[in-house]
Chain A
Amino acid sequence: MALLTVENLTVGYESATGMVKAVDDVSFTIDPGTSLGFVGESGCGKTTIGMALMGLLPDNAAVLNGRIILGDQEITAMSEDDLRKIRGSEVAMIFQAAMNALNPVVRVGEQVAEMIITHQGHLSPADITTKIEKLFDLVEIPRNRMNDYPHQYSGGMKQRAIIAMALACDPRLIIADEPTTALDVVVQDQILKEILKIQELLDTSFVFISHDIAVVARVCKKICVMYDGKIVEAGTREEVFQSPVHPYTRELLGSYLTLDNCRHVKVPRINSRWEQKGWDEGCALARLCDNPLDPCNSMSPGWRELSPTHGVRCFREASPE
């Protein structure tokens, strides 16, 4: 049975110009112990999906359609009280390290303890301390730093503390929203290794959100590429990397500099928000396409399954050579 099932999720934000759809008819499933990555440029809706999975959408956002089912509970139908019970214990979130994600006036150890006390309050203080110590060992933060304040931690340490906090109650699913974006590459590497280690040791599933497809590919076996609220291509990382079908995916991959291709790199053209026309009048990416087909400008492409694991939203039959 799938751990997480998302069916036709549509999330909109109220803005000065009306309801804007940030997530448009998105469906996917995650099995226990696997990881799914979401890649896309800013504003494609990936962070909104992460927030929606925890029921943490801001006040001006609403789930317009669809369902989110975690195990046997429907998140989209739960009350705030029930959601609070599962936040942290069943599904936890890891934020960007650059964010001020830790309370500056409370010691780090206490903040992790707070997570445990809220959901596993029956544990004795001694047990809680042991648990925190084990968590810190797991994420490789020295035990003697437990009682420090967040400003005394480096960026990488803060991120590891946030990871420890997310793991505290053994959640079944962890949503990681750009966890390495603000870190330098060395620390980024450490954190990714950390996450891989956790994936091996524990049975936690990950939803990994990033704009960096290389980072996502390291950690996730399955990848979804998003654009303007819809998934344009989804598949295993081998399928997406070795045989991408959607032109957008190909451009994302092709924009990576390596020693071999650095002279021929083509960066995907960035459409400003004003030029984006959405999916209502055809493919939202039609403008970026080199040679769009006829239906691309008038009809919205549907989802096509190329294999049980690989799907794409495009009118093209096969990847042009």
Chain B
Amino acid sequence: MRGLILEFIIKYGYHVNMSHNFGFINRFSSSWKIFIQNPLGKAGLSILALFALMAFASFWVHLLGPMYDPMTGVDPAVSHSVGPNTSHWLGTDFIGRDIFCQLMEGAKIAFIVGLASAFISIVIGTVVGMVSGYAGGIVDMLLMRMADMVMVLPSLVILLIIAALFGQLNIWMIVFLIAILRWPAVARVIRSQTLSLKHRPFIEASRVAGASNMRIIFKHIMPNVLPLAFLYMTFRVTSAILVEASLSFLGFGDPGQISWGMMLQWVWSSGHMFQAPYWLLPPGICISLLTLSFYMVGRAMDEVLDPRLRKEGKE
């Protein structure tokens, strides 16, 4: 008798799980339709596409010739900062390097830093959030206390102190440090989502069928919290890009990489900030626009995930 019930529950649990996986694909295409109708989503995605194009283009910029290398390319004809002209669309910086190429390189760096850092943040935050939510009790309390503490810390200031002690930071070090300072926000959201999922029937069914906790967390809870995690990834990306840019601006970024923050550092420290708007404006505008587009995409995704925000019909 018990065996039959157990068999039924395993079948039921498995069936529900399978439908979750198939349903995911259907849900994705209907989510996409909602997303693309949202004006914020459309605008955000278009701007993002533009920057992605710039980032990809930066791989091929060396085809234009050594003069255009963002780091070392010095135009022999120009040895100081000039305004936009035909051979240099945005002009050159104070040692004759092409600004537009630097901008494209910066796009690449921004995407790498933003996405990598956000991804690590999400991984840490999701795992912590799921474990915390599912385990409850003392584990939950300790993890959340830790999250509270980390959340209070100002990331730039901490990075500065670390830069002071450990010397010039490598770009991947920066990515990693930003990620470990910014995961708590994700963890909290994932935790509350996990808490609400914990008591759903299919989870109970899996538990009764003897699935280990690890299996339940990763096979059953994770697919359901991942959309939320990706939503928050967009906010982490903006935060990471901004912190890296600030750090570079202050002169503590990776000297081997050209990021938009670094470009602003050069404008400022070379004293050109008031004389060279073609140099001052583009990096800052790019940082703001990229941040804006990620934010817009995030808000549009928010609408997809939360049906109450949708502007459908008039009900």
Closest CB in chain A relative to B37 CB, distance in Å: 14
Extra A-B contacts (9), CB below 8 Å, given A15-B313, A15-B314, A16-B314: A13-B314, A13-B315, A14-B313, A14-B314, A16-B312, A16-B313, A16-B315, A60-B314, A60-B315
CB distance from B299 to the nearest CB of A (A): 23
In the complex, A60→B312 CA distance in Å? 13
- Name the distance in Å between A12's Cβ and chain B's nearest Cβ: 11
Among A1-25, those with CB < 8 Å from B are: 13-16
Q: What are 13 A-to-B residue pairs whose CB atoms are below 8 Å?
A: A13-B314, A13-B315, A14-B313, A14-B314, A15-B313, A15-B314, A15-B315, A16-B312, A16-B313, A16-B314, A16-B315, A60-B314, A60-B315
The docked-state distance in angstroms from the alpha carbon of A89 to that of B75 is 82
Question: Which B residues touch A14, using CB under 8 A?
Answer: 313-314
Chain A residues within an 8 Å CB radius of B312? 16
On chain B, the residues within 8 Å of A60 by CB distance are 314-315
Chain B residues near A16: list those with CB within 8 A: 312-315
In this complex, what residue of A is CB-closest to B312?
A16
From B315, which residue of chain A is reached at the shortest CB distance?
A15
Query: How far apart sit A60 and B311, CA to CA, in the bound complex (Å)?
Result: 13
Question: 0/1 per residue, B137-171, Cβ < 8 Å to A?
Answer: 00000000000000000000000000000000000
- Residues of chain A from 133 to 174 with CB closer than 8 A to chain B in the complex: none
The chain A residue sitting closest to B313, CB to CB, is A16
Minimal Cβ-Cβ distance residue in B for A59: B314
Majority DSSP secondary structure for residues of B touching A = loop
Chain B residues with CB below 8 A from A13, complex form: 314-315
Minimal beta-carbon separation of B314 from chain A (angstroms)? 4
Chain A binding surface, main DSSP class: strand
B34 CB, min distance to chain A CBs, angstroms? 14
In the complex, what residue of chain B is closest to A58 when comparing beta carbons? B314
> In the complex, which residues of chain A have a beta carbon less than 8 angstroms from the beta carbon of B315?
13, 15-16, 60
Min distance, Cβ B57 to any Cβ of chain A, angstroms: 44
Residue of B nearest to A16 (CB): B313
Query: Hey, which chain B residues are within 8 Å of A15, CB to CB?
Result: 313-315
- For the complex formed, measure the closest distance between the CB of A17 and the CB atoms of chain B, giving whole angstroms: 8
Q: Which residues of A contact B314 (CB under 8 A)?
A: 13-16, 60
- Give the CA-CA distance A153 to B41 in the complex, in Å: 44
* Complex Cα spacing A152 to B314, Å: 36
Please name the 5 residue pairs, one residue from A and one from B, whose CB atoms are nearest each other, closest first. Answer: A16-B313, A60-B314, A14-B314, A15-B315, A15-B313
Complex interface bits, A11-45 against B, C-beta within 8 A gives 1, otherwise 0: 00111100000000000000000000000000000
Give the distance to chain A from B310, nearest Cβ to Cβ, in Å. 11
Question: Contact mask B282-315 → A, CB, 8 Å, 1/0?
Answer: 0000000000000000000000000000001111
CB proximity of B210 to chain A, nearest CB, Å: 39
Binary contact track B56-69/A, C-beta < 8 Å → 1, others 0: 00000000000000
CA distance A6 to B233 in the complex (A): 56
Compute how far the CA of A16 lies from the CA of B314 in the bound complex, rounded to whole angstroms. 6
CA distance A14 to B314 in the complex (A): 6
Taking the closest CB of chain B, its distance from the CB of A301, in whole angstroms, is 30
A93 to B: closest C-beta gap in Å: 22
Contact partners of B313 in chain A: CB under 8 A:
14-16
**Shortest distance from the beta carbon of B307 to any chain A beta carbon, whole Å:** 14
* Least Cβ–Cβ distance between B55 and chain A, in angstroms: 41
Docked CA distance A14–B312 (Å): 12
Measured in the bound complex, the distance between the Cα atoms of B313 and A13 in whole Å is 11
Closest to A17 in B: B313
Q: Smallest CB–CB gap between B275 and chain A, Å?
A: 55
Q: How far is the CB of B290 from chain A (nearest CB, A)?
A: 36
Task: Tell me the smallest distance from the CB of B24 to a CB of chain A, in Å.
Answer: 26
Rounded to whole Å, the gap between the CB of A144 and the closest CB of chain B is 38
Q: Say how far A62's CB is from chain B's closest CB, in angstroms.
A: 11
User: What is the CA–CA distance of A15 and B315 in the complex, to the nearest angstrom?
Assistant: 6
CB of B300 to closest CB in A, whole Å: 21
CA distance A150 to B315 in the complex (A): 30
Rounded to whole Å, the gap between the CB of A138 and the closest CB of chain B is 39
The closest CB in chain B to the CB of A61 belongs to B314
List which B103-151 residues lie within 8 A (CB) of chain A.
Answer: none
- Look across to chain B and name the residue whose beta carbon is closest to the beta carbon of A20: B315
Distance in Å from the Cβ of B4 to the closest Cβ of chain A?
33
CB distance from A117 to the nearest CB of B (A): 35
Alpha-carbon distance A60/B313, docked complex (angstroms)? 10
- A18 → B minimal CB distance (Å): 10
Q: Would you give the shortest CB distance from B35 to chain A, in whole angstroms?
A: 19
Shortest C-beta distance, A45 to chain B (Å), equals 16
* Min CB gap A277→B, angstroms: 20
CB distance from A196 to the nearest CB of B (A): 37
Q: Which residue of B lies closest to A60 (CB)?
A: B314
**Whole-angstrom CA separation of A28 from B313 in the bound complex:** 32
Closest CB of chain A to B304's CB: distance in Å?
A: 18
**Nearest Cβ on chain A to B171's Cβ, whole angstroms:** 48
The distance in angstroms between the C-alpha atoms of A28 and B314, with both chains bound, is 29
A13 CA / B314 CA spacing, docked (Å): 8
Tell me the complex Cα distance, A225–B314, Å.
Answer: 28
> Cα distance A250–B236 when bound, in Å?
62
